[in-house]
Amino acid sequence: MAVPVSQQDTLEQLHSKEQESLLDAIDQLRSHGVSHHDISLPQVIVCGDQSSGKSSVLEGLTRLRFPTKDALCTTFATELILRRTAGPAVRIVCSILPSKNRTQAQKSQLLKFQRSFSSREDFSFPSLLEEAKEIMKTGSPTGSNTFSEDILRIRYTGPDLPSLTIVDLPGLIHSQIERQSVDDVNLVQTLVREYMKNEKSIILAVVSARNDADNQIVLKYIQNEFDPSGTRSLGIITKPDTLDAGSDSEKIFIKLAQNKTVNFELGWHVVKNRSFSTRDQSDEERDQSERLFFDTGSWRSVARSNVGIDTLRTKLSKVLVRQIRKELPSLVTAIGDAIRSTESGLNELGEPRETLDQQRTYLIGKAERFQSLTQDALRGTLNQPFFNGHAAKKLRNEIQNFNLAFAHIMFEKGPAWKIVNDTDPQPTAPSPFRSSKLEEYEAEVTNPEVISRSEFLEFHVGEAVQQNRGPGLTPIVNPVVVCEIFRQQASKWEDIAKWHVDRVFQAVVEYVDLSLSSLMDSDTFGKLHLEQIKPELAKKKQAVDEKVGELVKSYAQHDPIMYDPSFMAELDHIRGLRYRASKDASDTQVFAPKKAKLLTESIDDFTNSEILDLVETYYKRAVTVFINNIAVLGIENCLVAGLASIFSPSLVSTMDQERLQLIGSESEETRTQRTALKEKLEALKSGKRVLDLQVCKSGLALKKQEQLKKPVPIPRNPVRIEVSRPQTPSSQTTRVGDDDEDDPINQIASSLSGLKVTPPRDSSKVRRSSASRSRPGSVSSIRSMDSRSAADDAAAKSDDLASKWLDNATFHWAPSGERNASELTARA
C-alpha cells in the first residue's frame, strides 16, 4: 500500500530550485521594468471589493499583518515576494519600483526608498504604506492622493513560506465615503483593470460571504470583460463563518465553492479569517480554528483540497509555477524580440561621444555620408535605401519637375497679354506635360489678358507711339516704344521667377533636413542645422535671389539686344504672313467703292504693326533665354552647386573646439537614454539566460516523462538478461539537474539489482492465458508507482503481457555482487 504523501511533503516539493529560479527569473524581469515594454509577465494578482477580506487572506498566506481599515485607500500596487529559507532568520526588505513614466531624477529619488526589518513583529504595514504614499507624490503637480504606476515591493524571506509572488491591488470601492473622492474611486478601478486585462495574469478573486456574489464588482469584471471563459481565475470565498448554519445563503456559497454556479477552471477555495473578536489570535491558533470550522457543519461537503489557508498556499504555488511554465516559450520569444529592439535602439544612438576625438570622428563620418547621399541625389542615382519613400529625397527629380513647370508657366502665363488674330484666333492646345508641380504653378500664376491684335495695336501700341514721337520720318520705328511694349508684356517675369526659386529652395531645404535627420539623432541634427546648415543655406538663398534680380534687370531696365541671325529671318517671315493676309483681304473687296481717307487716319498703321512684330519676335527668344538663365545661372550655379559642401569632412576637421563640442556632443537625454537601454539590455539578456535554462530543463523533464511512457519490451523466447545495475564510476556519471537521486528509473533499477527471475516453463500458455493477475514486482505494478494515469494503450498492452509472463516466473534474491546470480535465466 502506497504511503500517502503528507501536506508538508507536498509543500517541500514546491520549494525546488527549479521553482525558485523560475519565480526569481520573473521577478528579476519585473524589477527591471520589462513589463513596461509591452511584455506581459505571469503573475498572481489579488483583486476584490473593499471589505471582502482580501487583507486577511494575504495575512494568512504571508503571516504579515495587513492594514484592514476600509477607509485606507491605496492607489498603487504592492508586490509580495515570498521565498523560503533553510534557517530560522526572517528578513523583510521594502522598496519602490518606479514606473516607466518617471523622469530619471524621479526614479533616482524613488529608488532611495529602502526599509528593512529582521522580524515580523517589527514590520508595520500601515506605516509602510503611508511612507510609500508620501514619497510616491514626488513629481505630482498637486501632491494629492492620485493614481500611481509605481509599485511597492516587499521581499519576505523566512522559514515556512511558500515560494510565491503575489501582486496585491487596492480594494474596489462600491460607494464614495467622506474621505474618498470620486477621483480616488475611479483611479482605483483604473489601476485594477490595467492589471486584470493582462492575459498572463492569474486573477485571485476574493469574494466575501457577507455580500451576494452577484453584487461584487470583481466578479462582474471577470465575467463581463477580462476572463469570460474563467480560464485564468481562482475564486476565494472569505468569512464563511458569518453565514447562519443551514441557511440558504450558506447553501449558495457552498455551491459556489463547489464550482457549480460560477465556473472557474482553477476552481474555488474557502478560507476563514480572523474576526474582530479573534484578532489577537496567533497564527497557529488561527489555523487551528480554521481547521475545526471546516471539519464540522455543512462545509464538510467541500473537498479538503479547496478549504484552508495551508492548502491555498500549496495551490497558489502550483498555479503560478504552472502558469509560468506554460508561458515560458512565448515569454522567451517576446524577450528575444525586445532584446533585438533594444540593440537596434543602441545602434541608432551610435558610439558614445564624450571626448573631442569621438565627437570629431562622429561628425566626419556623418559628413561623408551626407556628401555621398547628396551627390547621388543630384546625379539622379537612387540606388541607396535612403531614397525609398519620400519624393523630396529625390532632389534632382524634384528640381527637374519644378523647372519644367516653370518653363510651361512662363510660355503660357508669362506674358501680360495673350494677343490673338482677329480673323483666325488660334485655340490654346493642352500641354502634354502634366504634374502636381504644374498644377501648383497654374494655381499660383494668373492667366494673361486675352486681346485681339487690332485692339492691342490701337489701344496699347498706338497710344505708346503717339506719346513717344521723335524727329524724322513718321513711319520710322521708335526703339523707346519697342522697349516700353516689351517691358509691359514681360512685367510678370520677376514675380514668377522669384516664386519659382523660392519653391526650389524649399525643396533643397527639405532634402537637406531629410538626409541629415536620417543620419543622426534629433538633438545633434538640431544643433548642426542651427549652427552650420541654416547659415550656409541662407547664403545660397541670398546668392540665387541676387542672380534672379540681375537677370530680371537686364530685361526690365536695359534696351533689348539680339544678335541671333535667325531673328531677322523670323521677323521677315512674320511680315510676309501679315502682307499676304492683308493682300487677300483687299482682293475680296476689289469691286467695293474706295473711300478716301485722311492722312492722319492711317499714318501709324505700318509703324504700329512693325513695333508689334518686333516685340513678339523678340519676346519669344527672350523668354527662352530667361527660363534657361534662371535654371542654369540661378538655380544650378547659385543654389545646387556646392550643396554637398555645406557639411563636409574638411569643414569638420577645421572646426574649433568650442564649435565642435557644441555640435558633436550628446544631449543629456541621449546619454540617459543610452544608459537606460544598456541597463535594460543587460536585464533582458540576464533574464533570457535564466529563462532559456528553465526552458531547457522543462524540455528535459518532458523528454524523461515521454521515455517513461514507452512500453517495456518482453522477451517471447528463452533469453538470458542481465538486470543488475552496472556500477558506474562517479567520475563518469552524467547528471542532469539535481533530481537524479530521485529519478524513478534509477529507483526501479536499484530495487531490481540482484533479482533472479526464472521464466515459466511454457511461455505459450502465458500468451494464451486470458487471466491477468497483478503481483508485487510486476512491470504493471512498477509502472503504476510512477505514472499509471499517463500510460497509453500500447503501454497498457505491454504491461499486461509482462504481468502474464512474470506471474509464472520464479523470483529469488541473490547477492548483487555475483554476476551469475543477477541474471534472468530462461528455462524451457
Q: Is 523 exposed, middle or buried (0-12, 13-18, 19+ CB in 10 A)?
A: middle
3-state secondary structure of 382: coil
Dihedral, CA of residue 523, residue 526, residue 528 and residue 532, to nearest 10? -170
Please give the grid coordinates belonging to residue 182: 470620486
- The DSSP 8-state label assigned to residue 559 in this structure reads P
Contact 169, 192 (CB under 8 A): yes
- The DSSP 8-state label assigned to residue 819 in this structure reads T
Cα–Cα dist 712/798, whole Å: 7
Cα–Cα dist 261/257, whole Å: 9
**CA 793 to each of CA 331, 488, 511, 568, 595: distance values in angstroms, whole numbers, following the listed order:** 35, 105, 72, 110, 128
The torsion region of residue 239 among left (phi > 0), alpha (psi -120 to 50) and beta comes to left
Residues with Cβ < 8 Å from 240, sequence gap 6 or more? 209, 250, 253, 270, 272, 293, 299
Please give the pLDDT value at position 797: 52
Please give the pLDDT value at position 32: 64
Cα–Cα dist 363/369, whole Å: 10
CATH number of this structure's domain 17-338, picked from the four choices 3.40.1160.10, 3.40.50.1970, 3.20.20.80, 3.40.50.300: 3.40.50.300
Tell me the sheet residues that pair with 334. Answer: none
Cα–Cα dist 148/78, whole Å: 11
3-state class percentages of the chain: helix first, strand second, coil last, to nearest 5: 55, 10, 35
Please give the grid coordinates belonging to residue 218: 470583481
Residues with Cβ < 8 Å from 104, sequence gap 6 or more? 672, 676
- The strand pair at 720-722 and 823-825 is best described as antiparallel
Quick one: CATH architecture of 388-588+599-650?
A: Up-down Bundle (1.20)
Contact 217, 174 (CB under 8 A): yes
Q: Is 504 exposed, middle or buried (0-12, 13-18, 19+ CB in 10 A)?
A: buried
Indicate the domain borders of the chain: 17-338, 388-588+599-650, 711-825
End-to-end CA gap in the chain? 35
State CA 221 to chain mean position distance: 27
Contact 138, 174 (CB under 8 A): no
- The strand pair at 755-758 and 810-813 is best described as antiparallel
Let me know the angle formed at the C-alpha of 267 by 263 and 270, rounded to the nearest 5 degrees.
115
Of residues 54, 30, 60, the one with CA closest to residue 43: 30
Let me know the angle formed at the C-alpha of 49 by 47 and 55, rounded to the nearest 5 degrees.
65
Instruction: Kindly tell me the sign of the dihedral angle through the C-alpha atoms of 339, 345, 351, 353.
Output: negative
Instruction: Kindly tell me the sign of the dihedral angle through the C-alpha atoms of 605, 611, 615, 618.
Output: positive
Please give the pLDDT value at position 663: 94
- Taking each helix axis from N to C terminus, what angle separates 493-517 and 534-556, rounded to the nearest 10 degrees? 160
Low-confidence ranges of the chain (pLDDT < 50): 1-14, 70-71, 141-143, 178, 590-601, 718-758, 760-792, 794-795, 798-799, 801-803, 805-807, 809-828
Contact 819, 826 (CB under 8 A): no
Contact 60, 359 (CB under 8 A): no
Cα–Cα dist 336/688, whole Å: 7
| Residue that is written with C-alpha cell 530550485 in the block | 17
329: Cα within 13 Å, side-chain hemisphere = 3
- The strand pair at 114-117 and 77-84 is best described as unpaired
Of residues 515, 731, 543, 509, the one with CA closest to residue 638: 543
Residue 390: other Cβ atoms inside 10 A: 12
Please give the pLDDT value at position 705: 52
Residue 58: other Cβ atoms inside 10 A: 21
3-state secondary structure of 575: helix
Cα–Cα dist 289/277, whole Å: 13
**What is Dmax (Cα atoms) for the chain?**
157
Contact 253, 216 (CB under 8 A): no
3-state secondary structure of 727: coil
Of residues 143, 191, 176, 148, the one with CA closest to residue 71: 176
Of residues 481, 479, 403, 417, the one with CA closest to residue 448: 417
Please give the pLDDT value at position 146: 59
Contact 758, 827 (CB under 8 A): yes
Cα–Cα dist 236/56, whole Å: 12
The total number of residues written for the chain in this structure:
828
